[in-house]
Chains A and B, each alone.
Chain A
Amino acid sequence: MTDAKNYMHKSWWKIASIVLLGYTVVAGFLGEVPRLPLLQETIRNLYFHVCMWFAMMILFTVSVVNAVRYLRTFNLKYDIYARHFAVVAIVFGLLGYSTGAIWASYTWADPNKPAYNSFSTIARDPKLIGAAIALLVYFAYLILRDSIQDIDKKARISAVYNIFAYAILFPSIWILPRILPSLHPGNEDNPALDVKNDISGSMRIVFYPAVIGWTLLGVWIATLKIRFTLLKEKKMVS
């Protein structure tokens, strides 16, 4: 089942990931940021919190592409790819969610009210509910997978489910929060990609490399798990 050396065994993109993440940390803490009320220095979370979500979206896309590849070829290799990319994406999503919870509790919370009072307001935010729905849908993907014994059936059903999950991902994290009033920034135009009136240029030169760096780290973790699983499967067959 293992194929010849492919991108997983190349080291250039792993080095690129390390360099970009190092740059993210150094420039992320030392670089110039706009002086905004309320946000203040926490605006630097853009290089970490937002990157988690961007990495998650890219990894879920890779996962669904592999699910489609499985359905086209019925090669179980692609099922393993799809599963591990989805798992790493879920981890990034959970990290994005928890970092967002920390960030919001210091910037959205009403300082005049007790913490639990503000929490109920924050927890009702459409962006948070949308993100929670998206993550729960992918949790169900893992549960569905592990509840089916037959390997081929498992791969086929979970590949189809993966496509459905991907179809609900973007409506729930992008479209739904835009329809409803939300405290979360980035509900107008193209968030983080609008050149004219979104994040400043000094932040842009850190943010985009950070997205690539975090995504490559996620791909690295996923490929390690894929390689390990392929080895395990090979041992079981022989």
Chain B
Amino acid sequence: MDRYIKNPFHFTERKKDGIMNSAKKITTLLATFFLSLITFAQDKKTEMADMMKENGRIYVVVAVVLTILIGLILYMVRLDKKISRLEKEN
């Protein structure tokens, strides 16, 4: 490229011609088309149990599982204590 051109605006300023205008139109059209495609793809995202979280029913499941876990742990603690007592007796 010539760095010492006489008129620097000559290169940067372009005349608006017909081809360029139609190219712009086509790109805008394509852009909107792809935008709609993206939103369409988002609508079809993987189904998850979002409903469970929204209405809070998932907390019921967590409560049930936690209760079972606590029950089993309490049983373990009791066993541990019993064995400790036996060990002391011996």
Measured CB to CB, the residues of A under 8 A from B are 2, 9, 14, 18, 21-22, 25-26, 29-30, 33, 35-37, 40-41, 220-221, 224, 227-228, 231, 234-235
Contact = CB atoms under 8 A, between A and B. Distances in A.
A55 B67 CA distance: 23
Interface in B43-76: 45-49, 53, 58-59, 61-62, 65-66, 69, 73, 76
Contacts, number: 54
Given A2-B87, A37-B46, A41-B49, A26 B62 contact: yes
A21 B80 CA distance: 18
Contact of A235 (B62, B76, B90): B90
A71 B89 CA distance: 31
B37 interface: no
Contact of A30 (B47, B62, B73, B84): B62
Grouping DSSP codes into helix (H, G, I), strand (E, B) and loop, the A interface class, with mixed when no group exceeds half, is helix
Interface of B: 45-49, 53, 58-59, 61-62, 65-66, 69, 73, 76-77, 79-80, 83-84, 86-87, 90
Given A40-B48, A41-B48, A25 B84 contact: no
A22 B46 CA distance: 28
B79 A22 contact: no
Contact of B90 (A25, A33, A234): A234
28 contacts: A2-B87, A9-B84, A14-B76, A14-B77, A14-B80, A18-B73, A21-B69, A21-B73, A25-B66, A29-B58, A29-B61, A29-B62, A30-B53, A30-B58, A30-B62, A35-B45, A36-B46, A37-B46, A40-B49, A41-B49, A220-B80, A224-B76, A224-B79, A224-B80, A224-B83, A228-B86, A231-B83, A231-B87
Contacts of B66: 22, 25-26
Contacts of A35: 45-46, 48
